[in-house]
Amino acid sequence: MPNKRTAFFISDGTGITAEALGRSLLAQFEAIQFEMITKPYVNTEEKALQLVALINQTCVDEQQRPLLIDTIVDQKIRRIINTSQALNIDVFSTFLAPLEEELQTHSTYSVGKNHALTKEKEDTYKARIDSVHFALDNDDGARTHHYDKADLILVGVSRCGKTPTCIYMALQFGIKAANYPITEDDLLDSELPKALRPYRHKLFGLTIEPERLASIRHERRPNSHYASLKVCQREVQEVESLYQRHNIDYIDSTHYSIEEISTRILAQAGIERRFRPSI
C-alpha cells in the first residue's frame, strides 16, 4: 500500500464542507501521509477544465489516482470534474440521494446554502464575537472582576494550553471562557487563589506532561529557571495536587489537539454549546 497520496477538496462554493468532511475521513488512515489541496469556487467550466488538467497531471506524476472529495452542485461542472483520473467522492450525491428518497422530496442543490446569512446566523456571529472578546479580555488572569459572567474558568500552570483553548471554545461554541494561570507563588498556598474562590463551581483544570511543558517554555525563554525540567515537574505535581484537594475536574492536554481538549472539557463539565461550528 502506498504511504503517500494526494487528496483534492473541491467545491463551487467555499469548500469548507468538502474540506471538513474530507479531513475527517482521511484522518482515519494514519499510515498514509496525505497532501491535501483545497480548491474553492470552481464555478466556471474553464476553472473545472484547469482543475481536471491538474488532477490528471498529478496522476501521471505520482503514478496513482489522486483522491477527490467534492461538493460540486452545478451539473455542467460536475460532468467535467467526473472526467478526471481520480477516485471521486461526491459528497452531495452520496448523502442527498438517500435523504431525498426518505423525505420524499427533492433537494434544492443550492451552492453555499449552509453559509448564507440569516437572522439566526447573524445572532450566532454576534455571540461568537462577544465570546471571543470575553476570552481576550479575561486572558491569563489579566482581569478577574468579570468572572461572574464566565461560563468557565480554565486554570493551570503557564503554557499548558489555556489561552488557545479558551479562544477556540469562544469562536466555535460561543462559550465565555476566562483563564487564570496558577503560578509558583499560588502553589505555595494550599488554598485556591483568592480571585478564584467565589467561582469554584466554574473552574476546570488543565495539566500537561512536564517534559512537554519544559519544551514549550524553552521555546519562549531558553535555558531559564521557568523552563527547567525540575521546575516544570514540581509545578505539574503541585497543581494536580491542588486540583485533587479542591475537587476540580481536569484533563491532560499533552496528547490532544485544541479541538479535542475543548470538546472534552465541555462534555466533562456539562456545559452546553451556544451554537455548533458551521462546516
C-alpha cell at 7: 487528496
Q: How far apart are CA 10 and CA 16, in angstroms?
A: 9
pTM recorded for the entire structure = 0.67
Side chain identity at 199, as an amino acid letter?
Answer: Y
pLDDT at 110: 53
Least confident window among 21-35, 104-118, 206-220, 231-245: 104-118
C-alpha cell at 127: 455571540
List binding-site positions for ADP: 156-163
Query: Where is pLDDT greater, at 99 or 208?
Result: 208
Cβ atoms of residues 21 and 52 within 8 Å: no
Q: Which residues neighbour 111 within 8 Å (Cβ) at sequence distance 6 or greater?
A: 12, 13, 43, 73, 74
pLDDT in tens, 79-126: 999 999 999 999 887 877 788 888 988 776 554 454 444 565 677 778
pLDDT at 120: 59
List binding-site positions: 156-163
Please report, rounded to a whole number, the percentage of residues in the chain having pLDDT higher than 70: 93
Beta strand ranges found along the chain (DSSP E): 4-11, 33-39, 67-71, 87-90, 152-156, 177-181, 203-207, 250-252
